[in-house]
């Protein structure tokens, strides 16, 4: 079945440093979504990417979808303590019995030291 | 809208007892998902429904787990009998359509089986 791998598992940064997490799928995706989960909270949707090579920005966050639609990345510029949490990618494919189902990566836990 | 509602928020039970988790999705959402989150296994999809019909239950660990959606505004996840390895946070999520729409997660139920 479809697998989504995410690296790194953990990332510790000093406030002000940049942060990147990478996501790779075993199959071509129809779209990919990113979620953030604060400690003790629930996953919250950040963004969806659909097109090959798509790049989207939300303030200090930059999201990319690979040309082959099998990989994606999230980059945070100049991290702040409010960025602390776990970042998940989640892939979707329209094919077969997986229709409607998001496959989540393992997540990257980001710690920001002030 | 109140968002996805889950109850109880915390549940502590003894091994062998029956546990029932409840979820009310966002009104108008056609899809409902049940996830389990642990440190070891991350965020796992257990089962999801479309218009109250179970579509994919391949993530349900074993026969001790069952889920129902008797109407569009209510779903239950039942574990009988419960075991210590079932201890986890269980999330319910809903979305408007399949795959290409964001999923809205509830606050989760933290289950501890002693």
Confidence of residue A101 (pLDDT cuts 50, 70, 90): confident
Distance from CA of B99 to the nearest CA of A (A): 4
Confidence of residue A42 (pLDDT cuts 50, 70, 90): very high
Q: So what's the pLDDT on residue B1?
A: 64
Residues of A in contact with B29 (CB under 8 A): none
Confidence of residue A97 (pLDDT cuts 50, 70, 90): low
Q: CB distance from B39 to chain A under 8 Å?
A: no
Chains A and B: how many Cβ contacts under 8 Å?
58
Q: CB distance from A31 to chain B under 8 Å?
A: yes
Distance from CA of A100 to the nearest CA of B (A): 4
Q: So what's the pLDDT on residue A95?
A: 66
b (16+ CB within 10 A) / e for B22-55: bbbbbeebbbbbbbbbeeeebbebbbbbbeeeeb
Q: CB distance from B20 to chain A under 8 Å?
A: no
Residue A2 reports pLDDT greater than 80 = no
Of B42, B100, B106, the CB nearest to A104: B42
Residues of B in contact with A97 (CB under 8 A): 56
Number of residues assigned to chain B: 114
Q: What integer is the mean pLDDT of A84-93? A: 94
Per-residue pLDDT tens digits of chain B, which is 114 residues long:
689 999 999 999 999 999 999 999 999 999 999 999 998 888 999 999 999 999 989 899 889 999 999 999 999 999 999 999 999 999 999 999 876 789 999 999 999 999
Q: Are A56 and A63 in contact (CB under 8 A)?
A: yes
Q: CB distance from A42 to chain B under 8 Å?
A: yes
Of B43, B98, B102, the CB nearest to A104: B43
């Amino acid at each position: 079945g479809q697998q989504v791998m995410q690296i790194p598992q953990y990332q510790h940064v000093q406030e002000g440093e940049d942060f990147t997490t990478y996501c790779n799928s075993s199959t071509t995706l129809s779209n990919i979504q990113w979620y953030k989960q604060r400690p003790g909270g629930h996953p919250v949707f950040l963004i969806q990417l659909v097109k090959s090579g798509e790049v989207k920005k939300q303030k200090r966050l930059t999201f990319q979808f690979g040309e082959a639609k099998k990989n994606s990345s999230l980059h945070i510029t100049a991290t702040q303590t409010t960025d602390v949490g776990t970042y998940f990618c989640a892939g979707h494919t329209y094919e077969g019995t997986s229709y409607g189902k998001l496959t989540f990566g393992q997540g990257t836990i980001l710690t920001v030291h002030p | 809208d109140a968002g996805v509602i889950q109850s109880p928020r915390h549940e502590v039970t003894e091994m062998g007892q029956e546990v029932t988790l409840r979820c009310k999705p966002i009104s108008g959402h056609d899809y409902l998902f049940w996830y389990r989150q642990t440190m070891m296994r991350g965020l796992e999809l257990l089962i999801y429904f479309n218009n109250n019909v179970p579509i994919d239950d391949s993530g349900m660990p074993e026969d001790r787990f069952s889920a129902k959606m008797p109407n569009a505004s209510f779903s239950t996840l039942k574990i009988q009998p419960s075991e210590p390895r079932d201890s986890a946070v269980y999330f319910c999520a809903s979305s408007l359509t399949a795959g290409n729409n964001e999923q809205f997660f509830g606050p989760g139920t933290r289950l501890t089986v002693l």
